[in-house]
Structure 1
Amino acid sequence: MRNIDKATIERIGRDPIFRLLLINMALVILGYALGVLTGLASVAPMRILKYTVLLISVLIVLKLNVRILSLLTRYAQGIFVLSAALFLFALFTSSPLVSIGRALTFIIPFLYVALSVGYLLIRYTIRDTLNHCLNITNWIYFLPIVSYFITGGSLTDTNIYYISVENNDTAFVSNHYGWSGTIFIVTGIDLLRNANLPTWRRLLIVIFCGISMYLVLISGNRTSWLSLLLVFMVFIVQYRRIALYQKAILALLPLGLIFYLIQDPTSALNNRINKTRVQAAKGEARASVAKTMSSYFNSNPVLWATGIGLFNSPRIKQIIGWSGYHNSYFEVLFGTGVAMFLLFCYLLLVRPLWIYLRYFAEHYLFLFPFVVIPFFESNLTGGQFLFFPWFIFVLLMSYCRPIAELKQGFTNCRTGTQTP
């Protein structure tokens, strides 16, 4: 699995579709860094830059030859149905023009990622494409980790949960450090076990995986903690690339860091444990949001079929008192109704997880953070922190088998005896 042909890697790396995918993902992270450093002054010009690059990227994808576009259309039927339905449902909201505009901030970058991923899967093997996407994701989300130290962060810190957008002496906020550390760890381990890397890169990943684990713990980001817990379960139960005794040794690092931090009463670990206890007594905020929205929908049952429109902030605030759900899946459920929610979950949650656990979990760890974190944050627009890696990897998993079948002419696809 690790013997990836060097010429193939170089071809993928030079492919303009792949490079544009990298640039779009990197611009999102750059935009967040500049936004925090400039006190949000850079948000408007960066938005223009990101949308311009995205538009150019879409046009280049659409200029692919007819044969590849035909294959992509066949593979992405479910994706096109979902996107068209989301657009049509926006027409039936109380403010259709506003809803359509907001829906397009998801639909356009989503279709762009889907077509790009499909193109790469058609042109290259699944594992070569996956490893190369892991590689660029690892590099891009390495940047927030490095920036933490460049802007004055230290390994003596035990709590960075307070870092927010108001702290313009840092490039990112606490959640960003937690998410980036989580992504760097899982993609780094996957690259170490499945890709040929130079010695310096392997050492870099090993050293910064330890540093990233510490950063995740002091960020106070419980979503990252949950993601890594699920990854750890897959690592222990299904992962076959490391012997059991080596797994036990590796488990000592996070356990040691947790023990160290628990001794400090002001650490992020203790802070979040105490806050969790308070929230448990009061009721979890997202559970309260779900209950309030469900009651509102039950009072007007037709909303379960139509939703209130994607990203309908004024309506959401009117119902729950917040301008958003802080949950990508709630955004789809309450924004578009049950039918679209079920289709969304099937294409972008259930099927990717099933294929990952059946075919990839013995060798890769990457997927859980990309399906868990969106449950606690909204990442449905192209400018959100995790939008690109989330949809790149779930679409890779969701459509690797259909495209493998297309490439083979729908023949000799031996389910259960051969990986996709």
Structure 2
Amino acid sequence: MSAIYETAVQTARGEPARDAHLIASDAEAIDAARALAERLAPGAAERDRERRLPYDEIDWFSQSGLWAITVPKAYGGAGVSHVTLTEVVKRVAAADPSLGQLPQNHFGLVDVIALTGTDEQKRFFFGEILKGKRFGNGFSEKGTKNVLDLKTKVIRDGDGYRVDGTKFYSTGALFAHYVPVLGIDDDRKGWLAYIPKGTPGLSVIDDWSGFGQRTTASGTVRLDNVRVPASHVFAAHRVSDQPTLNGPLSQIIQAAIDAGIAHAALDDTLRFVRERSRPWIDSGVERAADDPLTIRETGRLVIQLHAADALLERAARTLDALAAQREVSEDDVARASVAVGEAKVLTTEIALLASEKLFELAGTQATLAEHDLDRHWRNARTHTLHDPVRWKYHLVGNYYLNGVAPARHAWN
């Protein structure tokens, strides 16, 4: 029976065998992402078909140094730009979007440390990341009123904290060295407890059965009277109570993943049409690639993808400009959320369109299971459900028409 259907608690794989490579610049990060993508892409379809969890591949990923590229320069990291970060995520997601999604929460959690941590906490956790340690997540819960209706408790207990609750959609937790868990105290303020894998009472369960993003292991995390030292707990409520770029950062990474899926779908469309597809009998051409209607639809897809890429880069440059300021205002955060929201609309739509148009343009042969081309649509449809893009239209329109700033949270 596939491991995805087992309910056995998964254990950590232990410490990294060696410290991760230390990336020193934006250019080096792009080069590392390009090399990693070339290594990941050949096995992506097989991993998807077999639901084979990418234990080796995620080690390649973190050992490359790419999981540490947002650690600030003052603490030994590369402190790369948002432009570079989105390009790295997009390249990896184009090769394998499950692997592209795994560090999404990690990067957001690095930012939480930078925003709310003491110098001692920053030195410890940034040092762990630079060695190759990975953060998973225990944020969302099933069966609640909405995504902000949390039941998990993080309660002060003596000189530390106690955590109790159950999480789901816990992307990356299975592969993580730390599982940061979001919970509330008795005053309903949010706290993040960065819990080391192997802590008594922490269980990470491989029960993710989604039809897309199959190897993200986005299943259950259970917390039963988990004790956490105070040094591992952060005031998550401060990230949204005050103006910060944490929400736009989280969202732009999600948009980059969708852009990567779109690139992969379009690349496979072009390859299949050139190499395997047959022209329609009324087209009067010998090659499917010379069919004028196929050419037209291909042009439309390319233009829409380039538009999505352009808005994604524009949003990243907006974040870079704001991050360079000494502090950000409420108006700055609103501008950032709107810019990222615009990009996310187009990346969502082109990911879904390109992965569906693949079959229309490539033909019936493209539906054969041996090609596994349906994974692009399954991945796009699953990942774009993270937050409804219809609300991004509302967010953008309300900002420009009525001057209403978006609500500050991780989904804006």
- The structure with higher relative contact order (CA 8 Å, sep 6+) is 1
| Larger relative strand fraction | 2
TM-score normalized by the length of structure 1: 0.27
